Amino acid sequence: MYKYLLLTFLLLGSTIFTFAQNSGDTSSKFEHNVQIGYNIGGLAPISFPNTIRKINSYSPGFSPSFGYELNYRLHQKWGLAIGLRVDWKSMSVQDSVQYFHTLVSMDNATIEGDFSGTNTTKVKNIYLAVPIQALFYAGNHWKLKLGVYLAHLVHPSFYGSVSDGYLRKGDSLGEKVIIDYASFDFDKEQRTFDFGISAGAEKLIYKNFAAKADLQWGLQPVFPDSFNGISFNMYNIYGTLGVSYRF
Amino acid sequence: MRLTVLLFAVVLCLNSCIKDAPANPEADIESFEIDPKLLTGQTFIDQVNRKILVYLTKEAYETGITPTITISKNATITPASGQKITFNGKNEVTYTVAAAQHPNQKTYTVQVVNVGDWHFEFEKWLQNTDDKYEYPVEDDLSTLWTSGNPGIALSGVPQDPLAYPTRSTTDGYLGTKAAEMVTIKGTPLSAIVGIYLYSGSVFIGNFNPSVVLIKPLAATEFGAPYVGLPARFTGYYKYTPGAAYQDENQNIIAGKTDECAIYAVLFEGPERLDGTNIHTSERVIATATLSDGSAKTNFTKFDIPFVYKNGQLPAANKNLMLAIVASSSKDGDHYKGAIGSRLVVDNLSVIPK
């Protein structure tokens, strides 16, 4: 999949490049940026189901973002931006759940039930993403961006545990089975492709350095419909705070 | 910087978007207390098959009982706790528990267990509705025998009676039904918790699934009330050990052959013994153990005398309980044995003194 992402990036990049060259005046219309940032967010449901009772702790974990972005100014106010970035999308969350429906399947062995107790989830996914955005030069050294991103999950990591609780076998009317501690690992269950809305703003603050903030909001559930380990859809919702250097 | 604010709002939402708690969907009978003077053995709530097994004195059976019942929070029960129930010659009374969350409800059947003459032919079997494993029942459909199957169901075996290690067979003594136990390979899910093998087993007593993951040996609760003193334990069995014996970590032990286990233990009740202490408890009074657990191609009769501890008979006022246990792998309780080991038992009897 990341081959296609690279291809998309190269095609669009070279289109802009060619377009820029054709117009003659490349130096002013064409801008390269390298970016570094920190991702904060989560792999989370859009609306919390009532089976989640309390968030005991949350941490974004080690979530850097490195990127390159090509800007092309089409017009005085408008431009195009295409980038290639590597995003660590991590989080570590511990929550209390009640009657949380889950189904875990391995080969032909399946166990299904409602869990009440403590859930710990650690996500350390690494995505290779291509954001494609429209660029608006708002003046006063501000750049506003809105578009989409396409991403490939290069390194999946989604694991955790359930503890200090009980499972109701089948559903909430099933027999109670006390669970001290049981781990789960859903790395491979995740979709390798992700896409969503990408929006951002940056302001030139010192020489060629700009401060930037952006948001990548996934529109596709990270787990496919066929996966029943978690009874609600979860999306990659991450914001990035960082700096950008233009050259 | 408004976007940054929005971003933090999203993060903060992790805490602020918690919804109201759902109404309690659970509908359990959690406890069922009867005046101990009316009991010959401890009451057991079989949460898997939704049965409450009571062991009553003759008088209590005739005049009825007034149980004190606790149920899931905010649920309701009919008949109510503290209401007298009578059996009127039947041995079943049903209770319905309605959860706070509609339309969830459960029906529990109270069964009076009468062990009768301690002769078991394994002719009648029922199937668990959800998981499809078989379990033997008495002529009046009461449950006296159980197996490890309810625990094995938790490791996600296919919903097919033959996928479980304990089931009925028509390959019985004199061509009738019998109990068949086959040691099977663990499932991919059980392997996660380090279980690679399940032996088949039948035993008199109950299976308590709530502790099966934290303390598996305690899940097998052995014994039923016994009146009088047993003299001998008899029955028929045949046994074929599996090809390769493995230890609890799946290592093949060359040269070792699997053995079956068949034994009966008389102990002081009314509290049951379980897999952790059936062999070691101070409360054990007498045992009758099959010493030859080797291969037997055809049905072979055994007749074993009960050996009383220190040759002493118990005092007459003791509340005695008796357990019978059979397993296709002797060390199956520690997940050791040979996959494919097959034990069939039939016509088990306890002959009183």
| Domain residue ranges of chain B, discontinuous segments joined by + | 23-114, 116-352
**Nearest alpha-carbon partner for A151 in A61, A236, A37:** A236
In Å, what is the CA distance from B348 to each residue of A27, A229, B235, B336? Answer: 96, 45, 4, 26
Contact B137, B125 (CB under 8 A): yes
Quick check: B190 and A114 CB within 8 A?
A: no
Nearest CB to B3; choose among A51, A107, A215: A215
Query: Does the interface predicted TM-score (ipTM) exceed 0.90?
Result: no
Structure tokens that stand for B134 in this block: 């078989």
CATH of domain B23-114: 2.60.40.2340
Distance CA B86, CA B69 (A): 16
For A40, nearest residue in chain B (alpha carbons): B11
Chain B stretch 11-40, residues whose beta carbon is closer than 8 A to a beta carbon of chain A: 11, 14-15, 17-22, 25-28
For A199, nearest residue in chain B (alpha carbons): B3
In chain A, what residues touch B192 (CB-CB under 8 Å)?
Answer: 106, 183
Which one-letter DSSP state was computed for residue B149? H
Q: Please give the average per-residue pLDDT across B254-270, as a whole number.
A: 94
Amino acid at B252: I
Q: Do domains B23-114 and B116-352 have the same CATH topology?
A: no
What tens digit of pLDDT does each residue of B46-85 get? 998 899 999 998 889 999 999 999 999 999 999 999 999 9
Distance CA B174, CA B68 (A): 46
In Å, what is the CA distance from A82 to each residue of A72, A217, A242, B346? Answer: 9, 17, 17, 77
- pLDDT (0 to 100) of residue A29: 82
Distance CA A97, CA A114 (A): 10
- pLDDT (0 to 100) of residue B298: 94
Residue range(s) defining the domain that contains residue A205: 2-22+30-246
Quick check: B104 and A42 CB within 8 A?
A: no
Structure tokens that stand for A153 in this block: 């999950």
Chain B stretch 151-190, residues whose beta carbon is closer than 8 A to a beta carbon of chain A: 153-158, 187-190
Mutate: best of A89, A99, A177, A180, partner B, most B CBs <10 A:
A177
Residue A96: alpha-carbon gap to chain centroid: 24
Query: Nearest-CA distance from B90 to chain A in Å?
Result: 27
3-state secondary structure of B341: coil
DSSP assignments along B270-319, one per residue: SSPEETTTTTT-TTEEEEEE-S--S-EEEEEEEEEE-EEGGGPPPPTT--
What tens digit of pLDDT does each residue of B125-157 get? 999 988 999 999 988 888 899 999 999 998 888
Residue B4 has pLDDT above 90, yes or no: no
Amino acid at B32: F
For A185, nearest residue in chain B (alpha carbons): B192
Structure tokens that stand for A240 in this block: 């990035």
What CATH fold (topology level) applies to the domain B116-352?
Answer: Jelly Rolls (2.60.120)
A98 touches B: beta carbon within 8 Å: yes
The continuous run of DSSP H or E covering A132 comes out as strand A109-139
Contact A200, A147 (CB under 8 A): no
In chain B, what residues touch A177 (CB-CB under 8 Å)?
Answer: 154, 209-210, 212-213
Q: Please give the average per-residue pLDDT across A49-68, as a whole number.
A: 91
Q: Please give the average per-residue pLDDT across A136-157, as a whole number.
A: 94
Nearest CB to A51; choose among B7, B22, B101: B22
CATH number at residue A196: 2.40.160
Residue B175 has pLDDT above 80, yes or no: no
Ramachandran quadrant class, A123 (left: phi over 0; alpha: psi -120 to 50; beta: rest): beta
A218 touches B: beta carbon within 8 Å: no
A114 touches B: beta carbon within 8 Å: yes
Mutate: best of A59, A99, A145, A175, partner B, most B CBs <10 A:
A175
With a CB cutoff of 8 Å and minimum separation 6, the contacts of A72 are A16, A19, A20, A29, A30, A31, A79, A80, A81
Mutate: best of B52, B189, B190, B208, partner A, most A CBs <10 A:
B189
Quick check: A50 and B19 CB within 8 A?
A: yes
With tokens 């019985």, the residue in question is B172
Contact B53, B113 (CB under 8 A): yes
Residue A22 has pLDDT above 60, yes or no: no
pTM of the model: 0.81
